[in-house]
Each structure stands twice: as structure tokens, then as C-alpha cells.
Structure 1
Amino acid sequence: MPSFTEGHHSVAVPEGASWWRRFLAFAGPGYLVAVGYMDPGNWATDIGGGSAFGYMLLSVVLVASLMAMLLQALSARLGIAAGLDLAQACRAHYSRRVTIGLWVLCEIAIIACDLAEVLGTAIALQLLFRLPLVWGVIVTAFDVFLILALQRFGFRKIEAVIVALLLVIGGCFLFELAVAGPDWAGAAGGLVPSSRVVTDPKALYLAIGILGATVMPHNLYLHSSLVQTRVVAADDAAKARAIGFATLDSSAALFLAFFINAAILVLAAATFHRAGRTDVADIAQAHELLAPMLGVGVAGTVFAVALLASGQNSTVTGTLAGQIVMEGFLDLKLPVWLRRLVTRLLAVVPAAIVVGVAGDRGATGLLVLSQVILSLQLPFAVVPLVAFTGRRDVMGRFASPRWLAWLAWAVTAAIIGLNATLLWSLV
């Protein structure tokens, strides 16, 4: 029984049509996945990184994006070739104890991601409508009804709404960059890795946060299920074509995510770091300073609109990921509204407490911490994914060739090594 049954094989693919029409039929799941790579949690880490270190951490954004492209390609490969999402593969091939443990860890990651969405949306509401942050956090508990409303119109409509909001975010940052006038030569130099990223504890902490915000563990589960919304014939030739189209879809979407993440960091570097304001790590503070420092009155409003679009986009994909993970690991189906409400409340309660106790500035620290938590969860999703996609008994002839398997394990080792370094520095 597939997870996300309401979307499973719901989108037809015209096999005899032109290449372009078939690509458009497959386009969509990659953009839902890409949303998780530019959620409000990214904003806090990218703003902090650009403000404190200028363009230096752009190399981390680039490397993390390339890692994400590889891992999401493997996720799509698993879903299409094996007909299983990652959670179902774990349930089928691991013991009950291991499966439950992986499920708990994945739920923690989803809650951490949801926490970032809650805080990001609440901050955007505060910036646009002067709604107190605590009330904004409480209001976000009710956006559970957004996904319910969208699902009534079919899966392709959900994809269309997501892409439209992504275009809004991209357009907002094109405007901000045009106004900020970055040092493009310096930005290009920032794409080259620096040893200071590892040797400077603050840079390392932000780098791990960027990694956690960029490579989302629950997205690996989500993507392996969403690619199964397309109707693909059972023969190997059709699966091979589907894997190619799905990989192209996710890579193009993640390139857009890279542009938006890089744009946030470049904007912070060009506006704050260049002016000597290396202390700006707060989204609300960045919004407050953008207009006077750039000399354009609408700069702060455009920034807040992009943040609100980002938070709402992440709400939709977070809902789907939670549903797929629970159904895949436990074979347990709950009403979508109940599943979403429980997850959202688990994020709303700690967010409201922190904001109530620590004030508005406590929100940014919580945002960065949520991304570090996501990064620490990554190995527990990446290792099973790389292992399954390399097994012929799971993947058949679509098992990863040796070069791809070695590359995937090298990425996995890098992720584990970075996390170990972070833990050591914290201890």
C-alpha cells in the first residue's frame, strides 16, 4: 500500500508526446522539495553568515546545494525504481526497533523544520502587520487548513501554488539585489572554500546551520514518495526515462533554491557586512535596517513579503512530509488535519514559550538552533538512502553504479564529519 494514497499515480504522463511535454508532466515534485531548502530557517543562518563573514560562506551554500542535488536524485531513483518511499524501504528491510528509532528521529527533524516555519511566518506577520510575535506564533497554528483547502483541487494545483510562491520569493530577491549592488567579484570569490570555515568556531556553527537548512532530512522521504504521483509504466525503459526526468526536475528546482539562499547571504553581506554591521543575525533587525541602509523605502516590505511566502510554502510541504513519514514507517493513517495540527502544536508551544520568556530576539537563536538540529538528524536519513539505492535486491538494474555509490558515500562521510566537528566544538 503506497503512502500518500490520494496523490499516488494521479498525474498522467503522455508517453508518446514530445520530450518537452513529458518533462513538464514530471516537473513539480522537485519544486515541492526545493521549498524545504529555502524555508525561514535558511534566512536566519544566511543572514547571520553574510553579516558576520561577508561572502565567505557562499562556498558552504554551494557545496550544500550540490550535496542536495545528489541526494534528492537518489531519493527520486529509489521511489521510481523500487516503488517505495524511503520510510517504506526502512520498514521493509530493517527491524521493528530500528524502524521506530528512525521514525522518532525523523519526527524530531520535522518538528524542528516546523518550528522554523512557525517563527518565520510569525516574524513576517509582525513585520507586515505589526502583530505581536507571540500572537503571530499562535495564528500559525491554524494554517493547517491551508493544505486541506489546497488538496481539494488536486495535486497539480498544489504544485502550481508552490511554484507561484517560489517565483514571488525569487522576484523579491532580484529586486533587493538590484538595489543593494553587491560586489560580484567578491561574491564569486566566496564560492571558493576557505579553511576558516572549519577553524573559526562561529563560522563552523553557522556553516553547519546552513548545511542543516539546505539538506533537509525529511525531504529525502518526501521526494521518494512524490515522484510516485506520476503514472510510470512497469518496464525498465519507462522507469529509466522517469528517473532522468525526475532528476532534471529536482536539479533545476534546487538550482533555484541555491539562487535564493545565495541571494539572502549576498544581500546581508552587501548591506550589513560592507557597512561594518557584522552583528546582524536577526531577521526582524535585518528588515528594520534594510530600508535606511539601502535608501529604498519598500526594501523592508519586499523582504517581509518574501519571508511570508517562504513560510507558507514550507507549511504545505511540511504537511505532506509528516503524512508520508508516518504512513511509511508505521503504516498508520491519520486524518491530515489531525496529523498537521499535532505537528504544528509541537512547534507552536516551544516557540511561544521562548518568545514569551526571551522576547523577540530569542526567536532568531531558536531558528538557528532548529537548523543545527536538522543537520544532526541528517545522517539517519542519508545512510539508509545511500545504502538502499546501492542494493540490487531493492533497486534491480537501477542500483547505483560504483562511481555514484562512492560519491554518495563520500557525501555521507562529509556530513557525518561536519556534524562530529560541530558536536566536538560545542562540548
Structure 2
Amino acid sequence: MLTRPEPPAGPEVSLPEIHRSVRVPDGAGWLRRMLAFVGPGYLVAVGYMDPGNWATALAGGSAFGYTLLSVALVSSLMAMLLQALCARIGIATGRDLAQLCRDRFPRPVNLALWALAEIAICATDLAELIGTAIALQLLFGIPLLIGVMLTALDALLILWLQHHGVRWLEALVAGLIFLVFGCFATQLALAQPVWGEVLAGYIPSASILTNEEQLYIAIGILGATVMPHNLYLHTAVVQTRAYGLGEARKREAIRFATIDSTAALSLALLVNSAILITAAAVFHAGGRTEVAEIQDAHALLAPMVGTTLAATLFAVALLACGLNATVTATMAGQVVMEGFLGLRMPPALRRLVTRLVAIVPAVIVTWLYGVSGTAQLLILSQVVLSLQLPFAVVPLMLVASSRRQLGAFTAPGWQLWLGWAATVLIVALNLKLLWGFLAE
């Protein structure tokens, strides 16, 4: 028997066109019920392996070998915890984080949070649009500027897929993620890294804090891994499941959604690690310690690995990551705009607005800089994301800690302790980065 999707309980729901649209088997076994919740985690995970991650991982791996693998690991563990809290909040309250902020904070604070969230989404989209355009150029020879403008078509793709149901969108995203994973699994086999050194790279090194260049890239990796817009998006997409509204059913939904997001983010960690390991094994070990441009990495892979297959797989994986990430960033823009502003638009118009907010600056940047300097722009966009991150994480932790808003579903103490510790670490790293800039 299947539970029927219930009509929205109030005048405002997250992503109304797909809200509670996925049926959950009632009375079925544990595995069938869990599989009904698989999907939102993969929509979130694509933000953790977008072209911005590529830029920071390539720069970090080529310059410092395997040292920054520890940053990728810590960032991913923080992401798993924060996304688990997002799933809890969305399911427990039936509202997304932007709506909950609007409920809790005064209007000036909400307007500031909305503006900061939009800046974060613009930085995200800048990286994704440029990354996708680079992949189109590498694979098909399409000029970079035309490639950026072609990415506007992803808004039509989202509308078409959502018209057929969110499961189609989730299937496309998950399929592209596994394609990326397969590409990099093959590349690792071709690169032949020293696995003992790889494992040692997951142990944190003091040089990350003492070396300014390492710290800059490390914060870029943090910004590329724990994405501000994903915190808003996840609280909304978990509500696409028609779980029961009683306490027991909500607790089950929280458990299944946490499994979903943790598994998806574990896969994202493997992909990000593979990018950094490939850069370290091929470029750093080969004496090319300044490879940061994605185009340079593509050009050097074939001669340094000894086969053109590595370069082709690199470009295919980049295109898959870029397409995936632009889809979810557009959805996040919808959640942020509707949640903070209470602004309702027809789906097609809403997609167009959220896409234009990002594509206009991307076109301008590409027009001004062209191929040169794209790596610096990509890394800078990730540092901007990191600087925006506290303004999403702090409201998330305030809601997760609020018994008034979550009631019996308030996060357990160990999650709150770890969550606040991660928040303090994020703020401290950002303050150190700003101090370094001001001291120059």
C-alpha cells in the first residue's frame, strides 16, 4: 500500500511543483521504504563535486601533492553532519531553512541573509557555468563565451524533467555522478599513485595553517565542499517525499534521509579525492607544480599519463559535473528567493530569473578574461563561498538547536556539539584568511 501525497498544510511549501510528490510504500519492508528516500542526497552531492572543486583540487594536488587530502576529508565529514541536520530540519518542520529564517529573524536580517545567499549562488554558478563551458570547448571546440550562453538551456532541462517527476531529475543527476566516478576510477588506474603517500595525505599537516598559499587553497576546498546553497536546498528537497506526518514516521524519514545524504556525500568525497590524487600523482610528481588551469590539466594529462583516454575522460567528467551542478544551483536559487522573500512566480519565469542572476556576470567575466585566468576566477569563487558559509551555517545551527522550532526533533547533543565546533572552525579559518589579506 502507498501513502497518498497530502495537500500542503499551509499556504506556503518548498518547491511546490514537486512537494510530497514521491510516494513512500506503507507497510513495506525496510529496504523498499529506504529506497523511496534515495535521491535528494544526490541532488545535494553534486554541489560537492562541481567545477569549483576541480579548480581547488587541481591547484592543491599539483602544488602540494597529497597534503590537502586531509582538508577534503575534514570538509566532507563536516558536510555530512551539516546535511544530516538539514534533513532533520526539513522533515521535522515541513519548512526549508530560508522560510525558517524568515519566521525567526527580523526583516532586515532576512534581507541581508537573502542577499548573501544570492551572492553565494552567483559564485557557485560562476564556477559551474565556466566549468561547463570549458568542457564543451575541450570536447567539441565550442568557444568559451558561446559555451557559457548555451548553459542557459539547463533551465529548460529542469522544467522538462520536473514535469515528468522529481524522480527523473534525481535519476539523471545520480547517473551523471556515477559516470564521473567511473571516469576518475579509470584515471586513478592510469595515474598509478603511491598509495602509501595517499593514505598519509589524509593525516592533517601543520603546514596547512602556517603556509599562506596552502591555507588559501585549503579554504577554497572548504568553500567548494561545504556549499552554502546546499544547506537551503536540502531542507527543501527532503520534503518531496510523502512520508507520514506522525512522530514515528518523521523519525524514520529523518533516518532514511540521513543515510541517503551520507552515502551520496561519501561518493562525492571519493570523486574529490580522486581529482586531487590524480593531480598529485601526475603533475606534482612530474615536477609540474603550477597546474591550476583546467585547460592546462587536460592538455598535459595525455602526454604525462601516456594515453589520450585520460584527457577524454577528464573532459567528459567535467561536463557531467558542470551540468549536474547548474541544475541544483538553479533549484537552490528558487528555494532562497521564495523562502526569504515569500516571492511566488510561475515555474518557467522563476527558472529564467534565477538563471539570469548567475549567467549575466558569468558572460561578463568570460568576455573580459576569456580562457586566461579562469583558474584564478574559479578558486576565487570558492573562497567567496567559504566567506559566505558562516551566514548559512549559523542560522542552520540556531534552528537545529531550537526546541521551540523543532520540538521533539531537536538534534541530539553530540550532533549539536560537533555542528557548533564545525561552525567555529569555519569562522576561525575565514577570519584568518581575512587577516592575511588585510595584513598584506
Q: What is the TM-score with the length of structure 2 in the denominator? A: 0.95
Give the partner amino acid of 2:94.
Answer: G
Q: Residue by residue, what CA displacement relative to the aligned partner does 1:266-291 show, whole Å, maximum 9, x if unpaired?
A: 00000000001001001000000001
Find 1:115's aligned residue among 126, 139, 142.
126
Q: Give me the whole-angstrom Cα distance separating, in 1, the residues matched to 2:152 and 2:270.
A: 30
Find 1:75's aligned residue among 71, 78, 86.
86
Find 1:303's aligned residue among 289, 309, 314.
314
Q: Give me the whole-angstrom Cα distance separating, in 2, the residues matched to 1:368 and 1:342.
A: 26
Task: State the Cα distance separating 1:364 from its structure 2 match.
Answer: 1.4
Find 2:156's aligned residue among 121, 145, 159.
145
Matched, 1:228 2:239: yes
Q: Give me the whole-angstrom Cα distance separating, in 2, the residues matched to 1:341 and 1:293.
A: 42
Task: State the Cα distance separating 1:93 from its structure 2 match.
Answer: 1.0
Q: Residue by residue, what CA displacement relative to the aligned partner does 1:341-374 show, whole Å, maximum 9, x if unpaired?
A: 3333333333333333333122111111111111
Give the partner amino acid of 2:91.
Answer: I
Q: Give me the whole-angstrom Cα distance separating, in 1, the residues matched to 2:297 and 2:355.
A: 26
Partner in structure 1 of residue 345 of structure 2:
334
Partner in structure 2 of residue 261 of structure 1:
272
Any unmatched runs of 5+ in structure 1? none
Find 1:188's aligned residue among 174, 196, 199.
199
Partner in structure 1 of residue 366 of structure 2:
355
Please say which of residues 132-141 and 121-130 is displaced more in the overlay. 132-141
Paired residue secondary structure (2:423): helix
Give the partner amino acid of 1:414.
Answer: L
Matched, 1:320 2:320: no
Task: State the Cα distance separating 1:143 from its structure 2 match.
Answer: 2.7
Q: Give me the whole-angstrom Cα distance separating, in 2, the residues matched to 1:143 and 1:227.
A: 22
Whether the 8 Å contact between 1:351 and 1:363 is mirrored in structure 2 is no
Matched, 1:66 2:77: yes
Give the aligned CA root-mean-square deviation in angstroms.
Answer: 1.1
Q: Give me the whole-angstrom Cα distance separating, in 2, the residues matched to 1:359 and 1:318.
A: 23
Give the partner amino acid of 1:150.
Answer: L
Paired residue secondary structure (2:148): helix
Q: Give me the whole-angstrom Cα distance separating, in 2, the residues matched to 1:157 and 1:354.
A: 33
Any unmatched runs of 5+ in structure 2? 1-11
Please say which of residues 231-240 and 276-285 is displaced more in the overlay. 231-240
Q: Residue by residue, what CA displacement relative to the aligned partner does 1:237-284 show, whole Å, maximum 9, x if unpaired?
A: 111111111111000000000000000000000000000100100100
Q: Give me the whole-angstrom Cα distance separating, in 2, the residues matched to 1:207 and 1:361.
A: 23
Q: What is the TM-score with the length of structure 1 in the denominator? A: 0.98
Cα pair distance change 1:316/1:296, threshold 3 Å: same
Q: Residue by residue, what CA displacement relative to the aligned partner does 1:32-58 show, whole Å, maximum 9, x if unpaired?
A: 000100011100000000000000000
Task: State the Cα distance separating 1:377 from its structure 2 match.
Answer: 0.7
Please say which of residues 60-69 and 366-375 is displaced more in the overlay. 366-375
Q: Give me the whole-angstrom Cα distance separating, in 2, the residues matched to 1:327 and 1:359.
A: 34
Task: State the Cα distance separating 1:171 from its structure 2 match.
Answer: 0.5
Give the 5 Å matches for 1:192-203. 192-203=203-214
Whether the 8 Å contact between 1:2 and 1:84 is mirrored in structure 2 is yes
Please say which of residues 52-61 and 339-348 is displaced more in the overlay. 339-348
Q: Give me the whole-angstrom Cα distance separating, in 2, the residues matched to 1:322 and 1:347.
A: 10
Cα pair distance change 1:364/1:342, threshold 3 Å: farther
Whether the 8 Å contact between 2:80 and 2:262 is mirrored in structure 1 is yes
Give the partner amino acid of 1:156.
Answer: R
Paired residue secondary structure (1:298): helix
Whether the 8 Å contact between 2:154 and 2:327 is mirrored in structure 1 is no
Paired residue secondary structure (1:110): helix
Task: State the Cα distance separating 1:315 from its structure 2 match.
Answer: 1.7
Partner in structure 1 of residue 256 of structure 2:
245
Q: Give me the whole-angstrom Cα distance separating, in 2, the residues matched to 1:401 and 1:59.
A: 27
Partner in structure 2 of residue 99 of structure 1:
110
Find 1:207's aligned residue among 215, 218, 229.
218
Partner in structure 1 of residue 433 of structure 2:
422
Paired residue secondary structure (1:143): helix
Whether the 8 Å contact between 2:232 and 2:332 is mirrored in structure 1 is yes
Q: Give me the whole-angstrom Cα distance separating, in 2, the residues matched to 1:240 and 1:97.
A: 34
Whether the 8 Å contact between 1:382 and 1:412 is mirrored in structure 2 is yes
Task: State the Cα distance separating 1:216 from its structure 2 match.
Answer: 0.4
Report the count of equivalent residues.
427
Give the partner amino acid of 1:324.
Answer: V
Give the partner amino acid of 2:265.
Answer: L
Q: Residue by residue, what CA displacement relative to the aligned partner does 1:3-48 show, whole Å, maximum 9, x if unpaired?
A: 2011111111113111111110011100100010001110000000
